[in-house]
Chain A
Amino acid sequence: MKNLSFRKMLGGVLAAVLALSLAACSGSKNSADSTDKGSDGGKASASGSASTDNGAIDTSKFVTVSYVMLGNKPTNGQFEKVMEKVNALLKQKANANLEIKWVEWADWQTKYNLLLASGESLDLITTATDWLDAWPNAQKGAFMALDDLLPKYAPLTWQEVPQEDWAETKYKNQIMMIPEDHYTQWVNHGFIYRGDWAKELGITSPIKDFETLGQYFQGIKDKKPGVIPWDSEGTNLEMFDGYVNSYSDAISLPVSTGPIGIFYAPSYDQKFTAGSPVFEDTFLNFAKLMKEWGDKSYWRQDVLSYKGDAKTALEAGKSGGVEHHTQTFLGERYKMDQLQPGSELQFFPWSATRNNLVSMSITHGATALGAHSKNPERALMVYDLLRQDPEIYKLFNYGIEGVQYVVKDGKRYRPDGYDVQKDDFYSDFWGGRIDKNEIPDGTLWDGYKDLYASYDQIKKPYPYGRFVFDKNPVNNELTAITQVVSQSLPAIVFGKAGDPEKAVNDFRNQLKSAGYDKVVAELQKQLDAYKQQIGG
């Protein structure tokens, strides 16, 4: 009897829970529908007003435009001072006020996507296809299509970005974001080493391959007591990518497998073929070389668990180099010229051996418009001003001249007596910088122009700008592969996995049993479809 009543009760509770959840579901669906309609209505009225105005833009109403930035809000009060000036200009030119909404580095991946999923009315949003989930969010309808709005409300940007670049931003034939396509940045990795030591060791020409790099390491080992040839964090697996880049024509596919991607296309000409150098001799040779280097102690014995900062060791003259990207090199070179004068820091980009260099995606930085934006027209006008108006651009990117920066010989420096704690300003505007309005940073090494020029000669356009790998069919396999990569690859990269042949074999077997073949097949299928989509 008692039992029965309990069971009844349980049933009742469950039914209530079910009913509640159903109600909640339908409720949210309704509200989503209504907001969708709302935004459609807004768009319709926008284009409507555009046609009636016959070209003239109505800015009589003062509005506030929000812009979602990635980064931590500056806390020293400088940000407010700069924004006051920016807003004074924006009021004058577009009768609008700009409000920055920060997504901080504390769990930013979650928060960024939550912000977009919640349906809040956001206007401008920093996004990116390679690190900020621009495509998944576009699929979910988080962004507003820009095709009709751009020519009228952001005319300068609309003309500046060429049609083929707009094409890169399209989802279902609609422009989803404005690319940061007129801004030069290079984050291709390589090895940063000391030019003065290389000379001392008899390496007179710039290092361009792993053999010479090995000579450099050995030289330091022999002649520089107390210096670790390469003091690295155990988390840096870029050496793998570097070797693949240097000894094959393979180019990396945009599929994440944890600490480093292992999926590549065999060459630029075969960019729609999926595979992995892990299953080729390149990888075995790499494992052998790394075992040799590890045995010769080119890096510390406890490298795998080491968490220190490699740059600090280099700056203290205790390490022969750092593995990182071009931009880091340019800043580090300038810094080292002050800290260790005469160190002549040099850079061996992994692309140097075989000229194997692919440009960065033009949507590494981009700006989208929120689907529930209340003032899409004014938001785009503000964007156009931020990007194109030199005065606003400089204010918004560098701060106030004389306080945050001074210009000497056309370069940007910090004023005398600059105190980082008190005077620092940044706006993390990563969604629309352009070279035209930039003042070169005096604290970047001068030689960057030559380096960039050498890249420009060999670079190939990024081929996967619009490729969105749909992970769903192989989610489990991909997770398993990521697990294998994070667990086994570091030991191979730092030569700590014992006999290289056996280690490579084990690694391959683990990948196979994690479902490597299935992922490659799925990847191939989607690449074929992508090829059709863009190539016709």
Chain B
Amino acid sequence: MASTTARRRGNDFTSAAVRGFGYALIGLFALFCVLPFFLVLGTSFTAEKTITLHGYNLWPRDFSTFAYKIVFENPDLIVGSYAVTVCITIVGTAIGLFIVAMTGYALQRPDFRSRNAISFFIYFTTLFQGGVVPFYIIMTQWFQLKDNYLSVLLPGLMTPFLIIMMKSFVKSIPHAITESAKMDGAGDFRIFMSLILPMTTPALATIGLFIAIGYWNEWYNAMLFLSPNMSYRPLQLFLYNVVTSADFVRNSSVASNIQPRDMPLESMKMATAVVATGPVILFYPLVQRFFIQGITVGAVKG
């Protein structure tokens, strides 16, 4: 009797030690992940001169909101950029998710005859691309999408990688379900909407997050196709422009006659990072549990 309690106590002790060690390790790891972010946050509130003289600091030595002042120089502009990005992200994710899911489902149906050919065609575009100039000419001259938000929305709708991921996830759903539904008289679209979609929630959450982050961070297409004539452009492009122009004005010998304004370059970079990441950080925990499941299931069964 005594010996069992002792043993149990011993077990408790080791498991507590192991657990404590584990917590410490994970805590430390988490700290390492979070620290850089705090460094960014701290630096964004530090006066530029202090950064130059003393380097980056976790805690601002010399509290200053000047960087944010420059970023928010024209509040309506940044609010407008936020609105554009949020709209594009929501609309793009909704449509993109639907199309990617449909494509992924169709491509794995064994009774879809040219599925391999079409899969190959989609895969092919990941290997060979036209390059920037043809892309630009097609978008601006053929489709006339210059200064049109569609030029940012459309290219992101279907990503080959996500289609392949979706395809391999749907493969894990037995084909028998589709067939039995068919026997009960359901049409293809009905099967997709009421049977397949509910069963692929984890994959949808994962892919949705990928698409959403893609749209959230989108600046290249916006840079190419949305000229400054548009009053509002996506957030990332707006912020990128704020930073690059300051950088350029300060370091370039090209434009020899610009009088550099006093730009808090380092703290401004950090401030833009904070402004850009904010909402994503809030959004991520909500879909996180699906996220892990979605990635692993898709990968293992693929």
Contacts and interface: CB of A to CB of B under 8 A. Distances in A.
26 contacts: A9-B117, A10-B120, A72-B228, A72-B241, A76-B74, A104-B244, A105-B241, A105-B244, A105-B247, A105-B248, A106-B219, A106-B244, A111-B223, A117-B133, A119-B137, A185-B257, A309-B265, A311-B250, A312-B48, A316-B52, A318-B53, A324-B253, A325-B256, A327-B257, A331-B259, A421-B69
Interface string B65-90: 00001100110010000000000000
Q: Which 3 A-B pairs have the closest CB atoms?
A: A73-B228, A312-B52, A105-B244
Interface in B115-154: 116-117, 120-121, 124, 132-134, 136-137, 140-141
Contact of B255 (A118, A119, A428): A428
A57 interface: no
A430 B133 contact: no
A430 B114 contact: no
B227 interface: yes
Nearest to B139: A118
Contacts of B53: 313, 316, 318
A24 B254 CA distance: 38
Given A71-B255, A107-B220, A119-B141, 6 more contacts: A72-B241, A111-B223, A118-B141, A308-B52, A313-B53, A428-B255
Given A105-B245, A120-B140, A420 B261 contact: yes
A131 B255 CA distance: 10
A34 interface: no
Interface string A103-127: 0111100110010011110000000
Interface of A: 6, 9-10, 12-13, 17, 24, 28, 31, 70-73, 75-76, 101-102, 104-107, 110-111, 114, 117-120, 131, 185-187, 189, 308-309, 311-313, 315-316, 318, 324-325, 327, 331, 364, 420-421, 424, 426, 428, 430, 441, 443
Contacts of B74: 75-76
B97 interface: no
Contacts of A107: 220, 223
A13 B115 CA distance: 12
Contacts, number: 116
Interface of B: 48-49, 51-53, 69-70, 73-74, 77, 114, 116-117, 120-121, 124, 132-134, 136-137, 140-141, 219-220, 223-224, 227-229, 237, 240-241, 244-245, 247-248, 250, 253-261, 265-266
Contacts of A185: 256-257
Nearest to B263: A309
Nearest to A327: B256
Given A110-B132, A114-B133, A118-B137, A309 B245 contact: no
Given A309-B52, A312-B52, A104 B228 contact: yes
Best-buried of A31, A106, A318, A324 by chain B (most CB within 10 Å): A106
Contacts of B136: 114, 117-118
Contacts of B140: 118, 120
Most A C-beta atoms less than 10 A away, residue of B52, B224, B244:
B52
A163 B201 CA distance: 73
Nearest to A28: B137
Contacts of B77: 75
A441 B259 contact: yes
B244 A17 contact: no
Given A104-B245, A131-B254, A443 B259 contact: yes
A498 B72 CA distance: 47
A101 B244 CA distance: 18
A210 B247 CA distance: 30
B51 A308 contact: yes
Contacts of A420: 261
A114 B132 contact: yes
Contact of A117 (B51, B69, B137): B137
A144 to B, nearest CB: 19
B250 A101 contact: no
Contacts of B116: 6, 9
A70 B245 CA distance: 11
A105 B219 CA distance: 13
Contacts of A101: 227, 229
A28 B250 CA distance: 41
A498 B261 CA distance: 39
A24 B248 CA distance: 38
A308 B266 contact: yes
Contacts of A311: 250
A421 B52 CA distance: 23
Contacts of A70: 255
Given A13-B117, A308-B266, A428-B255, A106 B52 contact: no
B54 to A, nearest CB: 10
B49 A312 contact: yes
A48 B237 CA distance: 46
Contacts of A10: 117, 120
Contact of B253 (A28, A76, A187, A316): A187
Contact of B121 (A13, A111, A186, A324): A13
Contacts of A364: 256
A426 B248 CA distance: 15
B241 A104 contact: yes
Contacts of B227: 101-102
Nearest to B74: A75
Contacts of A309: 48, 52, 250, 265-266
A101 B69 CA distance: 27
Nearest to A421: B73
Contacts of B124: 13, 17
A239 B4 CA distance: 78
B23 to A, nearest CB: 35
A424 B137 contact: no
A105 B241 CA distance: 7
